[in-house]
Structure 1
Amino acid sequence: MTTDHAHHLENPDATTPPPKIEMISSVPAPPMPTDAEAMTILVTLPPGCEGAPPHRHTGPAFGYVVKGAIVFELEGEPERVVKAGEAFWEPGGDVIHYQDGNHFADAESQFVVTMFGEPGRPMLIPVSAEELEERKGRRAPRP
């Protein structure tokens, strides 16, 4: 991040310290659906929760793990663990989102995600077993 993109303005009238601002994530702007609708949700995953079944989104999604850790996997990328304080994103569109489950069997995890989608379409679109089979070669090797 350059100073051109600073998120703090000097306030000469301030009587308290300035806010602390940390860059968590920055990605190039992905394609956005026409007239995109934005939705921000808090997802709480009980211990051991597998999360949503394989699905896709009509537009990009940007998330931040608030508590615990999640197992995150997109088509073509290896699964990874995203911990509290870390961010994730996905481009949406044709990319399958395989996993977003709780990494812990004995503790709750939470994440906040803002999704941009096509108006009038669901934010989560399930992927059929047939399509998963057809596209299995696009999935990264499993651990």
Structure 2
Amino acid sequence: MSTDHASAHHIDNPGKSGPPPRIDTVATVPGAPPAPEGAEAMTILVTLPPDSPGAPPHRHSGPAYGYVVKGAIDFELEGEPARVVQAGEAFWEPGGDVIHYQDGNHLAGEESAFVVTMFCAPGQPMLTVVDPEELEARRDRRAPRS
């Protein structure tokens, strides 16, 4: 995922008074995988209480694209180092076989929240928890933790 905070787009709306909207690119995902055929797009708002660990390690049946609207979240995907995503920043998950290890609240004293749009494969749940045996079998795929 790349971020390009410098790019802005302006849309003229002839015949209307007032300034036009400003559209800023927050992030892009070059070469993103396609959504599963027949996917259901689902947008959810997740609000994490202070110090919430978030969901247990899990995966999604299709890609997910999110934006932190408040606070900061701990974010870790299989094969990538853990990072903190702040309010105003986006995150991306390819879905499928990739494990999402962390999505908890990075803040101990205040709420954090993010909006995420997921493209779920038909007939599959939006989130599937990964069991401890699979986590152990795949531990070599997790990025080193400091």
C-alpha displacement of 1:139: 0.2
> Identity, % of aligned pairs?
72
**Rounded Cα–Cα distance in structure 2 between residues aligned with 1:21 and 1:33:** 29
Query: Does 1:128 pair with 2:134?
Result: no
Letter in 2 for 1:108: E
**Rounded Cα–Cα distance in structure 2 between residues aligned with 1:70 and 1:96:** 17
**Rounded Cα–Cα distance in structure 1 between residues aligned with 2:104 and 2:11:** 38
CA RMSD of aligned residues (A): 1.5
Unaligned 5+ runs, structure 1? none
Q: How many residues align?
A: 139
Letter in 2 for 1:31: P
C-alpha displacement of 1:25: 1.0
Q: Which residue of 1 aligns with 2:15?
A: 13
Q: Which residue of 1 aligns with 2:98?
A: 95
- Aligned to 1:41, what secondary structure does the other structure show? strand
C-alpha displacement of 1:7: 5.8
Q: Find runs of 4+ consecutive structure 1 residues off by over 6 angstroms.
A: none
Residue of 32, 35, 39 corresponding to 2:38 = 35
Unaligned 5+ runs, structure 2? none
Q: Which residue of 2 aligns with 1:118?
A: 121
Query: Does 1:62 pair with 2:65?
Result: yes
TM-score by length of 1: 0.93
- Aligned to 2:73, what secondary structure does the other structure show? strand
